[in-house]
Amino acid sequence: QVQLVESGGGLVQAGDSLTLSCAMSGFILDFGTIGWFRHGPGKEREGVSTIRNSDGSIGYADSVKGRYTISRDNAKNTVYLKMNRLKPEDTAVYYCAVDTRPLSVLDPPSTWLYWGQGTPVTVSA
């Protein structure tokens, strides 16, 4: 049974930081890529960041590059998304997703196999 559980979302002010967590279970040894996505109001779901299991390579969307950092703790089977200098336009429900293949942040959400339930992030001006 594959499970992804996000946590850490909340209401913050512009300029603040927030760290999201994605706890994984059920298939840990087989994943190819873990990704963070977000779905903002009136927008399509978009890729934010990815990390690959094979070599640890990381990718970011241009909109978050330099502000967000993805990391993983294999001992805890958890992936994190540290978000700094948050902006109102970062407001969204944030999801983690996993696939067995080496995907990138540009691969469409429909490509990914497994999803968490999401955690909301609201950034006030």
**Predicted pLDDT at 31:** 79
| Of 2-11, 23-32, 63-72, the least confident | 23-32
SS3 per residue for 40-91 = CCCCCCEEEEEEECCCCCEEECCCCCCCEEEEEEHHHCEEEEEECCCCHHHC
**Predicted pLDDT at 53:** 86
Look at strands 10-13 and 119-124 and give their pairing. Answer: parallel
Share of the chain above pLDDT 70, in %: 97
Q: Is the pLDDT of residue 117 over 90?
A: yes
The pLDDT tens digits of the residues spanning 15-40 come to 999 999 999 988 665 678 999 999 99
- How much is the average pLDDT of 71-92? 95
- How much is the average pLDDT of 96-111? 93
Q: Is the pLDDT of residue 113 over 60?
A: yes
Average pLDDT along the chain: 94
Q: Give the burial string for 27-62 (b: 16+ CB within 10 Å, else e).
A: eeeebebbbbbbbeeeeebbbbbbbbbeeeeebbbe
What are the distances in angstroms from CA 53 to CA 50, 61, 95? 10, 19, 18
Bridge partners for 121 per DSSP: 10, 92
**Predicted pLDDT at 124:** 97
8 A C-beta contact, residue 33 and residue 99: yes
8 A C-beta contact, residue 49 and residue 64: yes
